[in-house]
Amino acid sequence: MGDHGLEKRQFGHRARLALTPAEALRMDGQAHAARTMWNLLHAWWQMMPKEKRTLANADAAIRQARRDLDFLAVLPAQAAQAVLKTYFQAWKNCWDGRSGPPNFKARFRAATTVDVPQGRDLNITRVHRRWGMVNLPKIGRVRFRWTKGLPVGKHADTGNRITGARLVNDPLGWHIAFRVQTLEPRPAPHQGPETGIDVGITVPLALSDGETYGHGAWLTGREQARLLDLEQRAARRRKHGRPGERTSRRLHHTYDQIAGLRAKAKRRALDWQHKTTTKIADMYGTVVVEALTIANMVKSAKGTADLPGRNVAQKSGLNRSIGGEAWGRTVTLLTYKLARRGGALVKVPAPNTSRRCSACGFTAPGSRETQALFVCKSPDCGWTGNADYNAARNILHLYRMGLALIPAAGRAVVRRAKRVKPVAAR
């Protein structure tokens, strides 16, 4: 935390690299060397007795490996040290219960990345309104797409600087993700109103004031037809392959085309989420959402051999729709964007928010007659309205009643607390 009302902020910025075919080939070599280094470290870990699994011994092992194996030498020394640090951090996360144990990285399933730990090695300059130049170790000067102001040159100092980067390869090409550190004024408390948000599939975001945010298909009609044709082509080629036979280059090329279209859809979805959550964070001071356990919601209905499930295909389609909306990512984006503006995000219990009438409070199982229509079953009320709007009002009502979920002892519990105005993020 800085002085004089300033606070430290760390974030990432991703930009597209413009690599020549020769530079892309060298980048692929570095990425595969980094993946091989990880696999060698994991094999070394499994062979060594527990008392010899130390950072110093692992460091000596990878240094020896880079001297003995020429193809590992293409990986810069600092990038190799970053692989070592990441591997040991993976074991710490496992021991703390935050993730499973690390494993070997496959050639075609693992993400290909290369770390540049030191920001001073990048030597970033802006050469054009749309393009910048960055120095990549053992690659040289490379252009990247300039879409955001970065603290470089006269704008860089101790508090505002780029601390490092990571080179990431996805189906749309190589990108660079900068790690940026800035000092910014602490935000004043957000003076905007409160709102509840109900997430869904037909209506992605419904607010308690009647506002809704929706989107169309992430791929155009031609792109969807192209994706279907590629998936059918891949299925035919996979069907005619022999058991145990290596995947052909033609089938791999088809897989790459499928991955490219899916990555394009994901980019468009993320762009919509960023723009929508930014608009909500600018407008509202307190945002209330349901505490959904999404992992339980998308479990398969297949069942077991003794107790087979029902409507398995329909449940699979619902699970894909829920995963496509990425509700958890929406909450994550809202959390940090509200904190930067002095607002707050609050979670409330999810049960009965869609079955309770927001006008009279009566709860009945059959109140939600259709996906979009809510009809109160109370003889004294009979309120009728949009079901998503009704659920959003109920979510906001739970917050105003003080039923907010407060983490305690590693789990979320309901506590009735006095409402307070949102304070600046600390």
CATH code, domain with 303: 3.30.420
Question: What is the extent of the structural domain holding 278?
Answer: 188-217+267-426
**Domain shared by 127 and 30, yes or no:** yes
Distances (CA, A) of 96 to 50, 89, 91, 136, 203: 18, 10, 9, 34, 38
DSSP helix/strand/coil, 313: helix
Residue 47 CB contacts under 8 Å (≥ 6 apart), including other chains: none
- Confidence label for 417 from pLDDT (cuts 50, 70 and 90): very low
Tokens 């959904």 label which residue? 292
Number of domains in the chain: 2
pLDDT value at residue 76: 92
Q: What is the pLDDT of residues 119-169, one digit of tens each?
A: 888 999 999 889 999 999 999 999 999 988 888 877 788 788 999 999 999
**Domain shared by 47 and 171, yes or no:** yes
Asked whether residue 408 carries a pLDDT value surpassing 60, the answer given is no
Model confidence pTM above 0.85: no
**Domain shared by 7 and 137, yes or no:** yes
Domain boundary residue among 186, 205, 228? 186
Any idea which of 8-12, 164-168, 401-405, 414-418 has the lowest mean pLDDT?
Answer: 414-418
Q: For residues 62 and 392, what is the distance between their CA atoms, to the nearest angstrom? A: 55
User: Bigger pLDDT: 271 or 383?
Assistant: 271
Residue 67 lies in a domain: yes
Query: 71 with 132: CB under 8 angstroms?
Result: no
Per-residue tokens: 361: 């409070």
**Domain shared by 210 and 118, yes or no:** no
**Domain shared by 196 and 284, yes or no:** yes
